[in-house]
Structure 1
């Protein structure tokens, strides 16, 4: 049996520091790549703007980790009205040196349609860190001005926005405070939870993705958490002692219980929203031409199949007509 880490001179902290060093390199690669590819994406946008069905066909050929969330009604709207899509690293646009390259904005532009008034829907995802160890995307619900009776989310998005506005600005419990008795749900939270339970995640519209929140982590908390982490890493590399947090052991022991409780009270209407955002930003957006070509090939194959089916039908009709006189002759 292989030696465990407890039997070596290596600590978990050393391993995690090395892992974070790798992540730092990957972040810098994203920063450089974004700057180097801007002109190419601008040129692509100019070219594909002359192909009316480009982005609808891209979504028609979207990979499974996006396509599985697109309902037939969503697909009909995207195919008929989606005008363009763009992904930007908005923090880099604001500050190329200090901005986090992982933060992304995904912008959809639409033609006039029967479902909503908006011509542009843009959703931002901030990469943030929590003092409880969370690392990942957080976002804010985006309102969609649905036309009467045309809300594909059936009210879920509006409820999510109302709950977010109600909770925004409230302090987020961390560490031992998490173990205190949880506050009862507000009336809006109860309504949202009931709506989620009634809907079931399998039937949620893709447009509910605009309601994804993730964690309630402010920019200030994220800056503080990252600064604390950077200082601890610096001390460990310098061979200085890093004091253990009082609630660290207790938090690790109760991690599973805490996760279960969080899952039970999850009020996010699109829990996979961050995964879909990453799939769009890291796969669909850079590979748009590839997916467009795939969609074109699929359409060609479908046309060939239809032609073959028509030929088979014609051959069957001809065979039936040839057999008819023979059957009559035999009957006589």
Structure 2
């Protein structure tokens, strides 16, 4: 089976060309879809802005790809303070150019007891590296936590410090300074130790704002697109990630929760209606379980005790 192509005029390069053409076509389809649906999303945003707690109710019905990352403490904050959520394909220009796979997820919050920020926006750029990898990369977003209210336990702040230090070092290196011998900076060492000593299971959803992904600059991405077979330099990699699935979560927001918001809101309403019906049914059952009042009770003006429901 491995030598199947040896007996044909077809080469692996031919197959790779077809795959690239499919990729280009898919990207063009996404771009056109974004442009066609933009007025609909604008109309939807205007309509749902008149519905109290729309987005908290949507998040209550979030699919498993999102819900699994929302801890009880996160849920308490999101359900009480989230005002709006939106997704934009920020690299698409008015004339339809730009990569539609780059996305921004924006959250707006009311005043709350956890942080000072009114808006948290996380951007993801679609990039390609020289070794052939392609996907979403990002930059850490700082959150101005109130005293003793950091849901990430300091991890997000440490990621931001390490990122800023790495950018400063990269800037110095680009100006001719001697590059380090592959070692970690003090900020990166502290972050690595914190990650190793922290149980990453059950980590706050807000650690997602610290996701970076592979270190692929815009310049490298452009060069890799033009020459996909060039070998890429090694970098620190995923060992310093506090939210390794950050790109998957961005895709879940973009391709599921955002376009399906009305569906999830309707499900929340239906679930509330069922809960109310159950509550009313319980009340009716309790009424039927009450023993009939006799004349003595009526004369004394005393209410008979309710009979305990059997388990």
TM-score (normalizing by structure 2)? 0.83
Query: Matches of 2:140 and 2:8 in 1, distance apart?
Result: 47
What per-residue deviation string (whole Å, max 9, x for no partner) do you get for residues 123-171 of structure 1? 1100011112220111000011010011111111101111111222666
Aligned counterpart in structure 1 of residue 270 of structure 2, from 297, 311, 321:
297
* Residues 182/302 of structure 1: CA separation in 2 closer, same or farther (3 Å cut): farther
* Residues 322/74 of structure 1: CA separation in 2 closer, same or farther (3 Å cut): closer
Q: Secondary structure at the match of 2:184?
A: coil
Aligned equivalent of 1:90: 90
What per-residue deviation string (whole Å, max 9, x for no partner) do you get for residues 160-184 of structure 1? 111111222666xxxxxxxxx9723
Alpha-carbon offset, residue 187 of structure 1: 2.2
TM-score (normalizing by structure 1)? 0.78
What per-residue deviation string (whole Å, max 9, x for no partner) do you get for residues 192-232 of structure 1? 12222232221210011111000111111111111224xxx
- Any gaps of 5 or more consecutive residues in structure 2? 171-179, 293-304
- Structure 1's consecutive aligned runs of 4 or more residues displaced over 6 angstroms after TM superposition are 321-324
Alpha-carbon offset, residue 107 of structure 1: 0.7
8 Å contact 2:138–2:212 — kept in the other structure?
Answer: yes
What CA RMSD, in Å, does the superposition of the two structures yield over aligned residues? 3.0
Query: Matches of 1:30 and 1:42 in 2, distance apart?
Result: 18
Indicate yes or no: 2:21 matched with 1:21: yes
Aligned counterpart in structure 1 of residue 260 of structure 2, from 287, 308, 318:
287
* Residues 3/305 of structure 1: CA separation in 2 closer, same or farther (3 Å cut): farther
* Residues 323/316 of structure 1: CA separation in 2 closer, same or farther (3 Å cut): closer
Q: Secondary structure at the match of 1:225?
A: helix
Aligned equivalent of 1:47: 47
13-22 vs 43-52, greater mean Cα deviation: 13-22
- Any gaps of 5 or more consecutive residues in structure 1? 172-180, 230-243, 252-257, 325-332
* Residues 99/2 of structure 1: CA separation in 2 closer, same or farther (3 Å cut): closer
Alpha-carbon offset, residue 22 of structure 1: 0.9
* Residues 77/2 of structure 1: CA separation in 2 closer, same or farther (3 Å cut): same
Alignment of structure 1 residues 310-325 onto 2, 5 Å: 310-312=283-285, 318=291
